[in-house]
Amino acid sequence: MDGGETSDALRRIPAVDEILRREAFAPLLKRIPRPLVLKALGGVLEKMRTALRAGAVLATADSGKFAVSAADVEAVARELGQASLAPIVNATGVVLHTNLGRAPLAAQAAAWGAEVSRGYANLEFDVAQRRRGSRQAHVAEILCELTGAEAALVVNNNAAAVLLVLTAIGAGREVVVSRGELVEIGGAFRIPDVMRASNAKLVEVGTTNKTHARDYEAAVTGDTAALLKVHRSNFAVVGFTAEVSVAALALIAAARGVPLVVDLGSGALVDLAAIGLRGEMTLREAVGAGADVITASGDKLLGGPQAGILVGRRALIERAARHPLARALRCDKFTLAALEATLRIYRDGDPWREIPALAALALKTEEVAVRARRLADAILAERIDGLGVAVRDEVSRVGGGSFPLARLATRVVELTQKGRSAAAIDATLRCASPPVLARVSRGRVLLDPRTIFEGEFDFVVSAVRALRREETREIA
């Protein structure tokens, strides 16, 4: 098609007003907000122009203009109308998957967050006294009760908690850290960088594999603001190693009159040794061991919303709370409500049953096996041409930078299909609504029921249904 023919063809694209006046578009405009329809129509017409310029031949309507289908416009409008941030099914078996929002909230925590956020709340209002209150009051007391600490403060996330405490007590002074704990977590959180941002002067002691009590002792000067211990959450050092425990560091800190700050990372409130995950200190244990300030995440092993939790000695927590950064790093009513509801489960309920992350971690292999069999049978019942369904032994991961070496025995459903690659199967599952994210490992597509909620099995089966050959042809 030459230039003249193209511009002739472009003139046969109907005008927007004319299209919207058509009878076929009336029901569509009733169902979908007009701005979305306009945007979708704009997109459809632009695609037609591009196709014409590329020499494509388009269907013509009775009017002599090119046909524009209301169904096409509706499909595009529906897609445009979808929220960007939306639920997906986590079939990866990684329980605390940072890219998938880390800990899923307990039902009552999510509901309470929504309930409190829907209208007004006593966020910073003391109803009984009819005066201004503190947003921290709703969570501080229960955090103290659960950890044995004197005081508590909650900020946006653990990175914020570490930044705040280092700034409030360490700015312009020295903070002593082991070289073996200058960690990077999640790609963006690096202890030396946070230290620089806080204006504290990093004093490195020991070596990568070994740091001794005497290294800390020798580093303390009149300018030392704190000793810092960082939990090596996402990696392990094995072999010829030595580190100083929180309890031993607490003794050194106390003898020298400097505070010990511990970045615990995971923030477990229950002992995970109960399910075979050893070596993670609980918040209460860290308080008991004598740490002066402890920071942790709300959405890792604690299983709550994204938050940074600080617990410890009253004078230090108050100093952090009074610092202007605390205002910049504070969290909103939804977070505080969801966190309070989560903490109440620890105090009054059964965390192993009600906190989804803990329940998923606690699932025994036999229990996952029953689920895997049920999922496999439901998929087999679809009788999909050429689809292979097998239940296999595998391992799930804790994730969220916790227990990097832990292997949770699990049972997965492996999907194979003649003539279709693992990548293609995976892509089909991701196209479902809600998307199903499988684990793709060494060319295999695996569905790990450890992280698939009971109520989501139907979503997985319906996502798998798209692997039917006929449906694939339709899409193509």
Q: How many residues bind ligand PLP (CB under 6 A)?
A: 14
3-state helix, strand, coil in the chain (%, to 5): 45, 20, 35
* Residue linked to tokens 């900020």: 155
Instruction: Please provide residue 315's backbone torsions phi and psi, each rounded to the nearest 5 degrees.
Output: -60, -40
d(CA 178, CA 192): 11
Of 158 and 335, nearer to ligand PLP (C-beta) is 158
Interacting residues with ligand PLP between 248 and 267 (CB under 6 A): 263, 265
Interacting residues with ligand PLP between 324 and 383 (CB under 6 A): none
- Give the interface segment with ligand PLP, choosing from 48-56, 62-70, 225-233, 371-379 (CB under 6 A): 225-233
Of 156 and 396, nearer to ligand PLP (C-beta) is 156
Residue 84-123 contact track with ligand PLP, rule CB under 6 A, x = bound:
----------------------------------------
Of 177 and 185, nearer to ligand PLP (C-beta) is 185
Tokens encoding 473: 């042809």
d(CA 74, CA 110): 32
> Which of 186, 288, 290, 349 touches ligand PLP by CB under 6 A?
186
Q: Is 185 in the site for ligand PLP (CB under 6 A)?
A: yes
Of 230 and 363, nearer to ligand PLP (C-beta) is 230
One-letter amino acid at 243 equals E
> Which of 90, 147, 297, 428 touches ligand PLP by CB under 6 A?
297
Of 215 and 299, nearer to ligand PLP (C-beta) is 299
CB of 345 to ligand PLP, least distance (A): 20
Q: Which residue's CB atom is positioned nearest to ligand PLP?
A: 265
One-letter amino acid at 36 equals L
Of 233 and 410, nearer to ligand PLP (C-beta) is 233
> Which of 189, 216, 346, 403 touches ligand PLP by CB under 6 A?
189
Interacting residues with ligand PLP between 395 and 414 (CB under 6 A): 401
> Which of 136, 167, 211, 233 touches ligand PLP by CB under 6 A?
233
- Give the interface segment with ligand PLP, choosing from 2-10, 45-53, 142-150, 152-160 (CB under 6 A): 152-160
Of 339 and 438, nearer to ligand PLP (C-beta) is 339
Of 158 and 167, nearer to ligand PLP (C-beta) is 158
Of 90 and 157, nearer to ligand PLP (C-beta) is 157
* Residue linked to tokens 């986590």: 90
Instruction: Please provide residue 412's backbone torsions phi and psi, each rounded to the nearest 5 degrees.
Output: -115, 160
Of 39 and 190, nearer to ligand PLP (C-beta) is 190
- In order of 326, 330, 362, the CA distances from 171 in angstroms are 14, 20, 42
CB of 355 to ligand PLP, least distance (A): 17
CA–CA–CA angle 393, 396, 398 (5° rounding): 165
Tokens encoding 352: 């192993």
Q: Find the radius of gyration of the CA atoms of the chain.
A: 28
- Give the interface segment with ligand PLP, choosing from 115-123, 181-189, 341-349, 406-414 (CB under 6 A): 181-189
32: burial class by Cβ within 10 Å (0-12, 13-18, 19+)? middle
- Give the interface segment with ligand PLP, choosing from 11-19, 143-151, 228-236, 349-357 (CB under 6 A): 228-236
d(CA 164, CA 174): 15
Closest CA to 138 of 318, 297, 313, 336: 336
Q: Give the burial string for 301-314 (b: 16+ CB within 10 Å, else e).
A: bbbbbbbbbbbbbe
- Give the interface segment with ligand PLP, choosing from 83-91, 185-193, 242-250, 333-341 (CB under 6 A): 185-193
Please say whether the dihedral angle defined by the alpha carbons of residues 236, 240, 245 and 250, taken in this order, is positive or negative.
negative
Extended beta strands in 351-460, E state:
387-399, 408-417, 436-441, 444-447
Closest CA to 286 of 306, 265, 314, 303: 265
Closest CA to 346 of 337, 355, 333, 338: 355
**Residues at the site binding ligand PLP, with contacts judged by CB under 6 A:** 157-159, 185-186, 189, 230-231, 233, 263, 265, 297, 308, 401
